[in-house]
Amino acid sequence: MMNKKNLEIYVHIPFCARKCAYCDFLSFPGNVRMQREYTDKLLEEIEYQSACAADYQVVSVFIGGGTPSILKTEDMEAVLKALKNRFDIHPEAEITMEANPGTVTAEGLSCYRSAGVNRISIGLQSADDKELRYLGRIHTFDEFLKSYQRVRMAGFDNVNVDLISAIPGQTVESWKNTLKKVTMLKPEHISAYSLIVEEGTPFYDRYGEHVEMESYAMTVEERRGLMALPDLPDEDSEREMYYLTQEFLKEQGYDRYEISNYSKKGYECRHNIGYWTGMEYLGLGLGASSYMNGCRFHNTADLNDYCNARFYQEEDFNRVLRQELERLSIDEKMEEYMFLGLRLTRGVSAHGFISNFGQNIRNVYGQILEGLERDGLMEFKDGYYRLTLRGVDLSNYVMSQFLL
């Protein structure tokens, strides 16, 4: 049997019950008919894309969105079965599915587990109902608790909870309360991000700089509601939340293995580690990105274009599923290896750099590494170049130094 290369698969389900005010992901509400048409087209894509992955074995699958758990159970089951039938999936592959509180049922969870899903990621964001309303979330903390209980009762023993700090009206104390309530549930993994106000979102119209409110297509009522939101926490409070997260989660037995990700020992997200260490990945579904055979490309983000494509025709296949096809240069590959790998607290492997690029990391980045080490932003330990605590605080600056 030939030695196959490792591959990760990302599957995008763009539908959600309601678009959150801070979200800039490719997602939108969709009726049952639209979801069914999309699922049918996704099954087609799986069939045709799998032919491009004959030399690969899939070591992780991540089904994200949107809200994947909003799909009809039979539709999600069909997607999971198609992946299993069309791709060579490792028997011990990590298969994650995102779910939002209020959209999971006991029947659905049992089906996902039977179809191979072994990790659930739940989008909570905050344990404070008022903060959830400010974010535009459709659930309460109590509804999250019920969903979390269903996930556990369905037999899932690898669960992530997503949280966001520095959100409107949040205080250091309310953030600490969220951390306390979540850690009491003992999830295996916690992703704790700080809110980023992205252009093109309602939050940008409320909190962005030099933006006219009329620039966003909202009703008068929506605009009034947006303007009534409380201010974001000040910079000092945001920094305090940031440090509190690290200290509190460490006390509760969570290891920080990436800038925004914490886990119990042995429960690091293998799919995300694959991204950060340069593993090849194939994106399936609307707008999904891929990196295979040294090339980067992505699917169309136009739903009509995607659903009307005829993948059996080479022209449509390339036009819809191979957009912006770009072969990376050796310099670009080294850049990505560095600034993605440095997100991990263990850092970038010196030996791995030689294995990937055939030369010593010091030959390429010697002066930069020396300067960052001298400034106390990086250190070399156990064969890895990694950020110091101060380096993590200035991570955007540090990572920009590795652009060739």
Average pLDDT, the chain: 94
Residue 221's pLDDT band (boundaries 50, 70, 90)?
low
Amino acid found at 39: T
pLDDT at 218 over 70: no
CA distance 93 to 279: 14
pLDDT at 216 over 70: no
DSSP-derived 3-state class of residue 224: helix
Q: Are 39 and 75 in contact (CB under 8 A)?
A: yes
In sequence order, what are the beta bridge partners of 124?
Answer: none
CA distance 345 to 256: 7
pLDDT at residue number 389: 92
Q: Which of 183, 171, 229, 177 is nearest to 202 (CA)?
A: 229
Domains present along the chain, CATH in parentheses: 5-195+232-276 (3.20.20.70), 347-400 (no CATH)
CA distance 401 to 375: 13
pLDDT at 219 over 70: no
Express each pLDDT in 310-345 by its tens digit: 999 999 999 999 999 999 999 999 999 999 999 999
Amino acid found at 131: E
| Residue 281 burial by Cβ neighbours in a 10 Å radius (0-12, 13-18, 19+) | buried
Q: Which of 266, 288, 277 is nearest to 6 (CA)?
A: 277
Q: Are 148 and 122 in contact (CB under 8 A)?
A: yes
CA distance 214 to 206: 11
Average pLDDT over residues 184-204: 94
Express each pLDDT in 113-158 by its tens digit: 999 999 999 999 999 999 999 999 999 999 999 999 999 999 999 9
Which tokens go with 398?
A: 């540090």
The number of CA neighbours under 13 Å toward the Cβ of 218 is: 22
CA distance 93 to 334: 27
Strands of 323-327's sheet in order across: 255-258, 261-263, 189-194, 159-165, 119-125, 89-99, 56-65, 5-13, 281-284, 289-292, 295-298, 323-327
pLDDT at 172 over 50: yes
Write down the pTM of the prediction.
Answer: 0.94
DSSP secondary structure of 296-327: EEE----HHHHHH--TTSHHHHHHHHSEEEEE
Per-state percent for the chain, helix, strand, coil, to nearest 5: 45, 20, 35
Q: Which of 90, 41, 94, 5 is nearest to 292 (CA)?
A: 5
Q: Are 383 and 350 in contact (CB under 8 A)?
A: yes
Residue with tokens 């037995």: 253
CA distance 339 to 368: 13
- Show the DSSP H helices in 106-167 as ranges: 106-114, 129-135, 141-153
pLDDT at residue number 215: 46
